[in-house]
Structure 1
Amino acid sequence: MTAGPAPRIVRLLPSRFNREGRASRTGENTAAALLLAFTLLAILWANSPWDGSYWALLDTHIGLTLGADHFELTVKHLVNDGLMTFFFFLVGLEVTREFTIGELTERSRAAVPVVAALAGLVLPALIFVLVNSSGDNAHAWGVVISTDTAFLVGALAIIKPKFPGRLRLFLLTLAVVDDVGALIVIAVFYSDRIQVLPLMLAVALIAAIAMVRFLPAARGPAYAVLGFALWVALAVAGIHPTLAGVAVALLIPVFTPERQRVEQAIGVIRAFRQSPNSRYARTAARRLRESISINERLQTDFGPYVSYFVLPLFALVNAGVHLDAASLAEAFGSSLTWGIIAGLVLGKFVGITGATWFMRRTGFGRLAPGLTVKRLAGGAALSGIGFTISLFIVDIAIDDPARQDQARIGVLAASLVAFTLGWAIFRVTDWLSPPDPVGLKMIRPIDPERDHIRGNPDASLTLVEYGDFECPFCSRATGAIDEVIAHFGNRLCYVWRHFPLEREHPRAYDAARASEAAALQGRFWAMGRELFGHQDDLEWSDMYRYAVAAGCDIEQFDQDVRVQPSKVLHRVTDDAQDAEEMDLNATPTFFINGKRHKGPWDSASLIRALEAAASSRA
């Protein structure tokens, strides 16, 4: 049996999740904890006997003098207009990745979170405008449109709903669209009067940034220099300069790692191992970098700095608000505060839940296996936690300091209410529909529309195998399966699901993708036989030979695995996420009539276990 813990399948998850499984989630939880800690620090500092030092810090000027020219910003504007550019840069990288190779590449899969996100943008704004239909407050409707992803992830970690994996994936996909909408709103509605000449310069700089990908070297410095120039041009043009980060990110290329480039890097590493020298070392490092897109490298490089430095610092300079009796009474007597609370809490919950129900009910979109509207309701409530972009828009949409404090109190109150509501919904739904113990029962029933089935789909006996094509025991088990199927005939429904253990079997994931491409042509089982028969030769060049031997149209096969990979990617990760949720850690793992099989998996043992299951049903 293949021992050891199963690796997390992270290759295809949205970038917010794509950080090495449990280590990633620990990092995200730490980031959320830091954000909360600095929020509390700002509130305590602003309401302490030393509050004067807090406001003095925010108004401190930091400048740069070059000859007769002088440029300066306050600490608050340096953070909000300068450092937050890196936050929006990271958001832009994630958006680009999701629409290029991530969850948003498959229309039916993306349709539900996209529409839900749009409803979660529009309905909160409408509710806010209904409460603040006239006066200066109406301009602040953008405060209620955005969900704070860091706090959303942290809230899920604190609440710990049952089987949160796919829920988390759905919410983060939704958050990507939410971020896109927020960025558009900032660009269109919260920029100053546009200056034409600087804007034309900005357009020229954007064109230059788009050409950087064709440089043979020094692309990183080129992006940095042109990006800074774009930031200055947008600031002078009257457009919020943080959008320079988004513009640069959207023009940076992203692609899935290509095995050919990885193999080239391995070849250089092998040469370095045999003859260590600086030339081989530099070449190996360069080849390894080039095997991963600049987009993903930058996310890895910038992500920790944004999570652990930029966002906590942003919270420190923006969350400070007076919370004495007078300010609280003034805030909760203001339509601005109540409009923000109603927009974030009610608008997000009703908009996201209602849109999800509508899309599923009408068939315009589909949820990932195992997700239900009831499970998403708690996540929709948590989406009312607005912080980073909400406070960001407070600062640029409202000029009056008193009303800014009312808005900040509204954002903080709404976030607290949204967390409480989400916690209550998850607790109630988990109590009303308690999930099965982890790993003892399948969390997703057999679906003839998507599962790979041998035998009678309506049979009274079911046998589900989670395995991978590089596992020799799965190969032998598959041989045993033939005997089991022959024994039971139409009384048995056998199902194969993917569980590629990439740590132990580095080519299993690619083999699973190849089998799904063959499945699109009705050749899954034939391709499976080829893969099991050549477990020592599972490079991509070999996959094409096996596809031909399995009877596939090779041009269509190439199209599905290389040009439009989303058709096959999600089938593999759906199964792998099931295995992770059930805490499976070895292949093969069998489920008989939905219950996990314990013990040997030779044909005789499986037949005895199935006969026992049949007797218990009689």
Structure 2
Amino acid sequence: MAARKIVRKIIIDPLKVFIHDSRSIGIILLLATLLSLILSNIPGFSNGYIRFFQLSIDGTQEHAFVWGPFHLPNSILVVINDLLMAAFFFLAGMEIKRELVTGELASMKQSILPVAAAIGGMIVPALIYTQFNRGSEFTSGWAIPMATDIAFTLGIASLLGNRVPVALKVFITALAIIDDLGAIVVIALFYGSQLKLFYLLLSGLIMLILLSLQKNKVKIGWYTWILGLLLWYTIFNSGIHATVAGVLFAFTIPVNKLPELEIKFHVPVYFMIMPVFALANTAIVFPESGIGALNNSFSAGIIAGLFIGKPLGICLACFWMIKKKWAQLPNHTNWHQMIGAGILAGIGFTMSIFISMLAFSEITTQDIAKLAVLVSSVFSMLIGYAWMAIKK
């Protein structure tokens, strides 16, 4: 009995505190990224580490392998990015639905400023990237600098304590959630493959069944999760990126069940799936030229889009809405803090890396894009933190 108390006091209780600390998600992701970068650049080990995630079931480079009548993920990387990340999008979808129905996005008055800020924060980075890469082979990466990493951004904001007012944290959260929704729409529309009508029709049928269950207030049971898995499978084979299934499934969950499921999915998604995603997708071999590999319009477009375009788009949109008296600054917030929030929103990380993987098939191009995302995200973290730390 005494041993149990000691274990609880030394291990279990501190672990619980760490897990429920908003800063811990960013710390875990950062550590996983650093570990992956180190392992990827150890001579004699890096090749095996990188190849591990690319191991395929049938020995080919195809996205899916055929098992009887089924087409399933063909590599560890595809399992992580298409199946496990669907759980991340499911959690994000539940957060979006909750905010739209009962949260900060439930009314026009509450939502208009973060909605405008998110739109500005997506359009301006995409335009900046496009200007850097107009007419080049890299034009398909225009969506890479559009995304904000909600975990890292809120983690840095939490480190600042009361220098970030509660109302501003709510604004950042709402902005990041809308940003996620925008990224999901972009992925669905622009980064899928050739559409397959049969699987699209099956996906629609499953959605109708799930929505009917929700409308008739049928209790969530094992059959709900089976239908969710079937929805993922049909979308995986439809030509739309499979992670979209997570969001669609989330929107069929009854509102009163959202808080309970968000709590259940929080730990496995943020402390298991996201670190694995970071390990698999930041397995980057540093080029011999070092930072010189980023001396091109492709990298410059990503870095400028995230580090400059994000705060510029967010602040311009907010300034316009407030000038027109269609919205007002969050309570106890000034323009200095709003600019800081815009800089922090330039932390792209998870979603930007994810879009990089979808936008380009060449490993070298993906690696350069990921490095550019990492560099710009670090800039945004450091400069955003320093800016917000200056009290005005």
Q: Common fold, TM-score beyond 0.5?
A: yes
Is 1:419 aligned to residue 378 of structure 2?
no
Change in Cα spacing, 1:338 to 1:191, as seen in structure 2 (3 Å) is: same
Aligned to 1:231: 232
Q: Is the Cα–Cα contact under 8 Å of residues 109 and 366 in structure 1 kept in the other structure? A: no
- Once the two structures are superposed, the pairs formed by residues 366-405 of structure 1 within 5 Å of their partners are 366-405=328-367
Give the TM-score of the pair, scaled to structure 2.
0.89
Corresponding letter in the other structure for 1:52: N
- Counterpart check, 1:318 vs 2:281: yes
The yes-or-no answer on 1:92 pairing with 2:111 is no
- CA shift for structure 1 position 116: 0.5
Residues 25 and 182 (structure 1), Cα distance of their counterparts in 2 relative to 1, 3 Å cut: same
Deviation of 1:218 after TM superposition, in Å, equals: 5.6
Query: 1:396, CA displacement in angstroms?
Result: 1.0
For the 8 Å contact 2:147–2:179, the answer to whether it is kept is yes
* Aligned-partner SS, 2:74: strand
- Aligned equivalents of 2:205, 2:161: Cα separation in 1: 49
Structure 1 segment 258-407 matched on structure 2, within 5 A: 293-330=256-293, 332-407=294-369
> CA-to-partner distance for each residue in 1:47-100, whole Å, 9 max, x for gaps?
112102211211123589966868452111110001000000011101111010
Question: 2:152 corresponds to which letter in structure 1?
Answer: F
- Letter paired with 1:320: A
Q: For 1:487-509, what per-residue CA distance to the aligned partner results, in whole angstroms no more than 9, with x for missing partners?
A: xxxxxxxxxxxxxxxxxxxxxxx
- Greater percentage in helix: 2
Q: What is the one-letter code of the residue matched to 2:332?
A: G
Partner of residue 244, structure 1: 245
CA separation of 1:46 and 1:219: change in aligned 2, threshold 3 A: same
Secondary structure (helix, strand or coil) at the match of 1:103 reads coil
Q: How does 1:159-198 map onto structure 2 within 5 Å?
A: 159-160=160-161, 162-198=163-199
CA distance in 2, matches of 1:178, 1:47: 33
Aligned-partner residue type, residue 392 of structure 1 = F
Structure 2: runs of 5+ lacking an equivalent: 1-15, 59-64
Please tell me whether the aligned partners of residues 39 and 46 of structure 2 are also in contact (alpha carbons under 8 angstroms): yes
Instruction: Give yes or no for contact 2:36–2:278 (8 Å, CA) kept in 1.
Output: yes
How many residue pairs align between the two structures?
Answer: 370
Mapped partners of 1:228, 1:25: distance in 2: 28
Question: What's the CA shift for 1:240?
Answer: 0.5
Identity of aligned residues (%): 31
CA positional deviation for 1:157: 2.8
Paired letter, 1:357 = F
Structure 1-normalised TM-score?
Answer: 0.57
Q: Give 2:23's aligned residue.
A: 29
* Residue 48 (structure 1) aligned to one of 42, 49, 59: 42
Cα 1:69–1:245 shift into 2, 3 Å: closer
Query: Does the CA contact (< 8 Å) of 2:150 and 2:177 recur in 1?
Result: no
> Which piece of structure 1 moves more, 385-394 or 215-224?
215-224
Q: CA deviation at 1:323?
A: 2.0
Q: 1:72 to 1:163 in 2, by over 3 A?
A: closer
Q: How far apart in 2 are the matches of 1:406 and 1:325?
A: 12
Equivalent pair of 1:111/1:366 in contact (CA under 8 Å):
no
2:184, 2:244 within 8 Å by CA — same for their partners in 1? yes
Q: Does 1:38 align with 2:32?
A: yes
Tell me which residue corresponds to 1:521: none
User: Residue deviations 1:507-537, cap 9 Å, x none?
Assistant: xxxxxxxxxxxxxxxxxxxxxxxxxxxxxxx
* Equivalent in the alignment of 2:139: 138
What is the RMSD computed on CA atoms of the aligned residues?
2.1
Match of 1:58 in 2: 53
> What are the Cα deviations for residues 273-303 of structure 1, in whole angstroms up to 9, with x where unaligned?
xxxxxxxxxxxxxxxxxxxx11221111111
Match of 2:12 in 1: none
Asked whether the equivalents of residues 164 and 388 of structure 2 are also in contact (C-alpha less than 8 Å), the reply is no
Q: Which has the larger radius of gyration?
A: 1
1:218-617 to structure 2, matched below 5 A, reads 219-254=220-255, 293-330=256-293, 332-428=294-390, 430=391, 433=392
Q: How far is the alpha carbon of 1:168 from its aligned partner?
A: 1.2
- State how far apart, in whole Å, the 2-side matches of 1:427 and 1:371 are: 14
2:105 alignment partner, SS class? helix
Over residues 441-478 of structure 1, what are the superposed CA-to-partner deviations in whole Å (9 max), with x where a residue is unaligned? Answer: xxxxxxxxxxxxxxxxxxxxxxxxxxxxxxxxxxxxxx
Please say if residues 163 and 389 of structure 2, whose CA atoms lie closer than 8 Å, have aligned partners that are also in contact. Answer: no
CA deviations on 1:541-585 (whole Å, 9 max, x unpaired) are xxxxxxxxxxxxxxxxxxxxxxxxxxxxxxxxxxxxxxxxxxxxx
In structure 2, relative to structure 1, the CA distance for the partners of 1:216 and 1:117 (3 Å cut) is closer
Higher relative contact order (CA 8 A, sep 6+): 2
For the Cα contact (< 8 Å) 1:391–1:408, is it kept in 2? yes
Letter in 1 for 2:370: R
